[in-house]
């Protein structure tokens, strides 16, 4: 009897592609926060050095936090079960919206984003009288946020066909010990994750 060869899943639906792509998006959003978002020119009479470069991590601290969440969620998706993947997809949606919203807020009101840096420079809160210029970084971060939202949808759609890894699957419960053989309790995905975080092999029950 002939059997049909098993066709490989399309590349866009493969776990490695989805996880790696989403991690890249989160890392890209995080990377923008290490660059200059705002160029500030203070009044000449205010300080000796009137030019200030405000990094994204200072102009929009929420972007950094949401980007880290996105990366962590993408990595967790590689070992998560079916239900957990839906939760992770929802987390990615929230993280993406957070990145996009916080970035757009700086674009819309750069003076507010620069207020903290200006206050440190001149010792007075606010950025009145300062000339603030927005660089390309907030726009790139906002675009990365939108893509992270789409990655959440991508994960939800693609992961429906992902098989559950046998390594982390729950083991069936056994009856009473037979001929001196000990029975092993079933382990679920949360137990597997706990074992991994402790550096243990989740398949070793002894």
Question: Largest Cα–Cα distance of the chain, in whole Å?
Answer: 90
- The reported pTM is 0.70
pLDDT of residue 21: 92
pLDDT of residue 71: 95
Task: Give the residues of the chain that fall short of pLDDT 70.
Answer: 1-10, 12-13, 44-50, 123-129, 163-206
What are the structural domains of the chain? 12-163 (1.20.140), 166-206 (no CATH)
pLDDT of residue 176: 42
What is the rounded distance in angstroms from the CA atom of residue 147 to the CA atom of residue 121? Answer: 35
What is the rounded distance in angstroms from the CA atom of residue 189 to the CA atom of residue 72? Answer: 17
CB 55 within 8 A of CB 33: yes
pLDDT of residue 1: 46
Residues near 79 by Cβ (< 8 Å), separated by ≥ 6?
165, 168, 189, 192, 193, 196
């Amino acid at each position: 009897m002939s059997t049909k060869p098993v066709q490989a899943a399309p590349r866009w639906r493969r776990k490695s592609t989805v996880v790696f792509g989403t991690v890249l998006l989160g890392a890209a959003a995080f990377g923008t926060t290490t660059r200059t978002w705002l160029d500030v020119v203070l009044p000449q009479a205010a300080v000796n050095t009137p030019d200030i470069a405000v990094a994204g991590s200072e102009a929009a601290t929420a972007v950094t936090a949401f980007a880290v969440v996105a990366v962590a969620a993408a990595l967790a998706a590689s070992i998560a079960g079916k239900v957990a993947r839906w939760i992770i997809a929802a987390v990615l949606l929230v993280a993406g919206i957070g990145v996009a919203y916080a970035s757009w807020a700086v674009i819309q009101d750069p003076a507010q984003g620069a207020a903290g840096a200006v206050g440190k420079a001149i010792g007075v809160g606010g950025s009145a009288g300062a000339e603030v210029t927005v660089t390309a970084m907030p726009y790139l971060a906002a675009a990365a946020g939108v893509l992270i939202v789409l990655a959440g949808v991508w994960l939800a759609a693609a992961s429906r066909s992902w098989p559950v890894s046998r390594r982390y699957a729950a083991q069936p419960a056994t009856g009473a010990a037979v001929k001196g053989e000990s029975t092993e309790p079933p382990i679920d995905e949360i137990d597997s994750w706990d074992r991994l975080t402790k550096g243990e092999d989740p398949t070793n029950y002894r």
